[in-house]
Structure 1
């Protein structure tokens, strides 16, 4: 599981990441990322709405996402907030495919983090 120190619990942290952070989305997952000026460990929170399925399905999706994020926590900068929102296709997706979707979204999000709104692979 995700280390206790890295779990997002406060509603204010969720709101901060969603309202003020950058967003990257796919049909399966939407990630909200916000960097704060602190040396605290990164915090990760999960949102799995009722559209994903009944309680058993939602809890299974959350457990799978927590497990996947545990191995990817070291790639997040210190002091950052990350909210992972699962969309309905996440419920029926195999773990390997969900991991690939998460990796692509994280890579896009962290690549954009340093570049602002300008593309990184085009001429200046």
Structure 2
């Protein structure tokens, strides 16, 4: 599971990532990344942790399907949060087809979107 310090919880943080961050869309999800490089911190202080949040609407499916998708995405982000710059805000929005996607498909889409946002992939 994604550690507590890496979870995005406040509405303002979600809004910042979506409105001011970069976006990469794939078949089953859209990833918004607000890089932490612009967040200044005091000298001698460690950088804030990367935080991730998830948006899974009713268009994805019923409550059971939505919770399954959220659990899968949290599990996938746990292994990828170290690849992102410290202090980054990440919002992963599941698209309607995500409810029918298996774990491997979600992992491929998440990896491709993160790779594009971090500068390693073409459009």
* Unaligned runs of at least 5 residues, structure 2: 42-46
**What SS class does the counterpart of residue 52 from structure 2 fall into?**
strand
Hey, which bits of structure 1, 4+ residues long, moved more than 3 A? none
Answer yes or no: is the 8 Å Cα contact 2:27–2:109 preserved in 1: no
Which residue is equivalent to 1:107?
Answer: 115
Which residue is equivalent to 2:93?
Answer: 85
**Normalising to structure 2: TM-score of the pair?**
0.88
* Unaligned runs of at least 5 residues, structure 1: 113-119
1:70 aligned onto 2:78: yes
Please give the alpha-carbon distance, in whole angstroms, between the structure 1 residues aligned to 2:4 and 2:16: 20
CA RMSD of aligned residues (A): 1.5
**Normalising to structure 1: TM-score of the pair?**
0.87
- Give the superposition deviation at 1:27: 2.4
The count of residues paired between Structure 1 and Structure 2 equals 114
**What SS class does the counterpart of residue 13 from structure 1 fall into?**
helix
**What SS class does the counterpart of residue 59 from structure 2 fall into?**
helix
Which residue is equivalent to 2:16?
Answer: 16
